[in-house]
Amino acid sequence: MKKLLLGLSFSAAIATSFTHAAGRDSISIVGSSTVFPFSKVVAERFGKTTNFKSPTVESTGTGGGFKEFCKGLGVNHPDISNASRRIKQSELDMCKANGVADVIEVLIGYDGIVLANSVKAKQVKLSRKDIFLALAKKVPNPDGSKTLVDNPYKTWKDVNPSLPASKIEVLGPPTTSGTRDAFVELAMEGGCKKVDWIGALKDSDKGRFKEICHILREDGAFIEAGENDNLIVQKLDANPNALGIFGFSFLDQNADKVQASSIDGSDPTFDTIADGSYPVSRPLYFYVKKGHMEVIPGIKEYLAEFTSEKAWGDEGYLTDKGMIPLAKEKRNQIAKNVKDAVVLKSL
């Protein structure tokens, strides 16, 4: 019995030592898998060039990151959350409700989403409207009336006579992916708006507008190929007729296997994404708890490293990893805000 009591008190001691857990001396980062590679590089360089430990970076997805991030203040909760979209009002409210009142928002750059096929086939020139018509579950009636029909298109030529007569076959990420969200929002919605009467719905009936624009077809033309972008690249290599959806950095690294389709007349390159002429690109952010800056060592220095020219500048090491930098004035502005720890007031 004595031994049992001893054991119990020992395990209780372990448990309480963690409740105090003043021990965390490294930054904890969670969030988007798109920002993950960029966050990794900064974390590593930061750890190797300062006396602080390298931050721990988790790839939880944007939504999952905010969930952990907004759970509360204290060393058991992450300090920074990466995001491949802006924080939502509901997430900000959740943060506030849990005592995470002061959050610093940092816009870091852009990422392009590309549609690509194997280099063994010809490059495809698409418009956002083509993408919408080819991939939406319901499309406007081809006879011109303001009704919707189940997507009847089988080949790209059916969608637009100038496109090749190959079967519509697009590999893309599943609904849990931020890339999918951004693709739907930017490419599908962008093309959807081009149909006048649906575009008009955006103001009058937002729910219906989203229902039309955001739902991808489920009859086999769009194939959910998993979160792994490398896998999509491999599948494209094996099947020259298929197109795939993935992030720009994977295009950059696999230029020998896949080529990007141009969208609305613009090829995805560093420059077209940075100046906004390539339409399917999205901003990347991270969010910092101001309340942690005094508690966890190194947060200020990490932010300084991330917002330094050698990291996120036009020729910084983040661009080597495929991040598209912001304009110079914007960078200076944000770097200054970060330095002064300006808190996000409202969206």
Partner 1 sequence: MNNSDSMSVAERVEKNLAKRYRAEKRFRIFGMISVSIGIIALIGLFTQIISNGAGAFFQTYVKLDITFDADELGISDPTDPDQLMIGNYDGIVRDALRERFPSVTKRREKRDLYSLVSIGASYRLQSDLRQNPQLLGTTQTLWVLADDDVDVYFKSREDEPFIGRLNDLQVEWIESLAKSNELKTKFNTIFFTSGDSAEPEQAGILGALLGSLLTLLVTLLLSFPIGVAAAIYLEEYAKSNKFTDFIEVNINNLAAVPSVIFGLLGLAIFLNFFNMPRSIPLVGGFVLTLMTLPTIIISSRAAIKAVPPSIRQAALGMGASKMQMILHHVLPLALPGMLTGAIIGMAQALGETAPLLMIGMVAFIVELPGSVADPATVLPVQIFLWADSPERAFTERTSAAIMVLLAFLITMNTFAIWLRKKLERRW
User: Of these, 143, 196, 203, 256, which contacts partner 1 (CB under 8 A)?
Assistant: 256
Shorter beta-carbon distance to partner 1: residue 19 or 346: 19
Q: How far is CA 5 from CA 9, 10, 18, 107, in A?
A: 6, 8, 20, 54
Regarding 56 and contact with partner 1 (CB under 8 A), the answer is yes
Binding to partner 1 (CB under 8 A) within 307-336 occurs at: 315, 317, 320-322
| Shortest distance, position 198 Cβ to partner 1, whole Å | 35
Shorter beta-carbon distance to partner 1: residue 211 or 227: 227
Span of 56-64, 100-108, 266-274, 285-293 interacting with partner 1 by CB under 8 A? 56-64
Regarding 98 and contact with partner 1 (CB under 8 A), the answer is no
User: Of these, 31, 47, 140, 172, which contacts partner 1 (CB under 8 A)?
Assistant: 47
Residues 6+ apart with CB under 8 A from 52: 25, 26, 27, 46, 297, 298, 301, 302
Q: How many C-alpha atoms does 287 have within 13 Å on its Cβ side? A: 30
User: Of these, 32, 35, 59, 236, which contacts partner 1 (CB under 8 A)?
Assistant: 59
Strand partners of residue 263: 126, 266
φ, ψ for residue 277, nearest 5 deg = -75, -25
User: Of these, 31, 32, 35, 58, which contacts partner 1 (CB under 8 A)?
Assistant: 58
Regarding 229 and contact with partner 1 (CB under 8 A), the answer is yes
User: Of these, 65, 78, 112, 268, which contacts partner 1 (CB under 8 A)?
Assistant: 78
φ, ψ for residue 87, nearest 5 deg = -60, 145
Q: How far is CA 48 from CA 42, 44, 45, 51, 54, in A?
A: 10, 6, 5, 8, 7
Span of 75-83, 117-125, 215-223, 326-334 interacting with partner 1 by CB under 8 A? 75-83
Regarding 3 and contact with partner 1 (CB under 8 A), the answer is no
User: Of these, 31, 32, 43, 109, which contacts partner 1 (CB under 8 A)?
Assistant: 43
Regarding 176 and contact with partner 1 (CB under 8 A), the answer is no
Regarding 51 and contact with partner 1 (CB under 8 A), the answer is yes
The long-range contacts involving 162-166, CB below 8 angstroms and separated by at least 24 positions, are 162/125, 163/124, 163/125, 163/126, 163/130, 164/122, 164/124, 166/241
CA angle 222, 261, 281 (to 5 degrees): 85
The DSSP element (H or E) to which 170 belongs, if any, is strand 170-172
Strand partners of residue 171: 223, 244
Q: How far is CA 234 from CA 42, 46, 75, 111, 242, in A?
A: 29, 33, 41, 21, 11
Regarding 30 and contact with partner 1 (CB under 8 A), the answer is yes
Regarding 255 and contact with partner 1 (CB under 8 A), the answer is yes
Q: How far apart are CA 237 and CA 129, in angstroms?
A: 26
Span of 141-149, 222-230, 258-266, 272-280 interacting with partner 1 by CB under 8 A? 222-230
Q: Is 164 helix (H, G, I), strand (E, B) or coil?
A: coil
User: Of these, 127, 249, 272, 281, which contacts partner 1 (CB under 8 A)?
Assistant: 249
Contact criterion met (CB below 8 Å) for 243 and 169:
yes
Regarding 253 and contact with partner 1 (CB under 8 A), the answer is yes
Residues that bind partner 1 (CB under 8 A): 15, 18-19, 21, 23-24, 26, 28, 30, 33, 36-37, 39-41, 43-45, 47-51, 53-54, 56-59, 75-76, 78, 227-230, 247, 249-250, 252-256, 315, 317, 320-322
